[in-house]
Amino acid sequence: MLAAALALLSSASWGTSDFLGGIYSRRRSVWSVVAVAQPAAVLAAALVVLVRGVPSPPLLAALAPFLGGIAAILALVAYYSALTEGAMGVVSPIIASSAAVPVVVGLARGERPSMVQFVGMALAVGGIVLISRTRDVEHRRVRPRSVILALAASAGFGAMLVALDIGGDVDPYWAVLDARIGSFVTAAAYLAIRRPHLSLTPADIPGMVTSGILLASANMLFALASSLGHLSVTAVLSTLSPVVTTFLAWALLKERLSLPQVVAAVTVLLGVVCLTAG
């Protein structure tokens, strides 16, 4: 019960963080958000570790979360880029297919999917195809680039889930800090080498910082949940974050979806449920 509650809270934090990140990516730029949110996420995770006062685990135990953090920042940039080109209600449900990654990892470990999971795979792929071929309520075709970016982001987020689960078996708090360091180092290297234009105003900082803190909180809640319960259960609950993002876009941005897109979004989410609950 506790693991499920933590995973649901993780979804809420992730979805809200993604919503804020998408908003500011549209107003400014993806890298403007990254430049502020990622340091905030590292500091939030470091503060929790510092307060606990528990020594760091062996270096090898930090490797998986660190690599997961690199995958996560690449996925986050792809996600924010997708959100700048397509409606949140279209892009966000695709991210839910990140739950397929833990299924693939399970297959590599010798697990065999059930018939329900095979159905889930078909539903997820079918929903993604339907989203990419429909038009939004303004009758503009959904850009294939936004779908491709969302799929890439989904794979990266799925890798992050697996990495947090691995690191969480040793220490979930340190696993999150290691992951956030991986993301921060990768983002900082890109910013230092490419020097993209950053468009920021003082009014943007609180929202971007909040996005980073929520991101770290979501990571920590999921790592705790997966260490207390089964990955298959906590993964499906954590992938409800797109529902939060879509709801916020509907409630605050007044985004509307066509009926085929609503059907496609529901199909993807049903596929995710089958993949992880089968």
If you compute the radius of gyration of the chain from its CA atoms, what whole number of angstroms results? 18
Q: What CA–CA distance (Å, rounded) separates 86 from 82?
A: 6
Residue 149 identity: L
Q: Residue 85 pLDDT > 90, yes or no? A: no
Specify the 3-state DSSP secondary structure of 1: coil
Q: Tell me the pTM.
A: 0.79
Please give the DSSP secondary-structure letter assigned to residue 96.
G
Question: In the block, which residue shows the tokens 């947090």?
Answer: 164
Q: What CA–CA distance (Å, rounded) separates 19 from 207?
A: 11
Q: What CA–CA distance (Å, rounded) separates 182 from 224?
A: 19
Q: What CA–CA distance (Å, rounded) separates 20 from 207?
A: 7
* Least reliable range by pLDDT among 94-98, 172-176, 217-221, 249-253: 94-98
Helices (H) and strands (E) in the chain, counts: 12, 0
Count up the domains in the chain and report the number.
1
**pLDDT tier for residue 139 given thresholds of 50, 70 and 90:** very low
Chain-wide mean pLDDT for the chain? 83
Residue 14 domain boundaries: 2-277
Contacts of 109 (CB under 8 A, 6+ apart): none
pLDDT digits (tens, 9 = 90+) for 156-196: 989 999 999 899 889 999 999 999 999 999 999 989 998 88
Q: What CA–CA distance (Å, rounded) separates 193 from 195?
A: 6
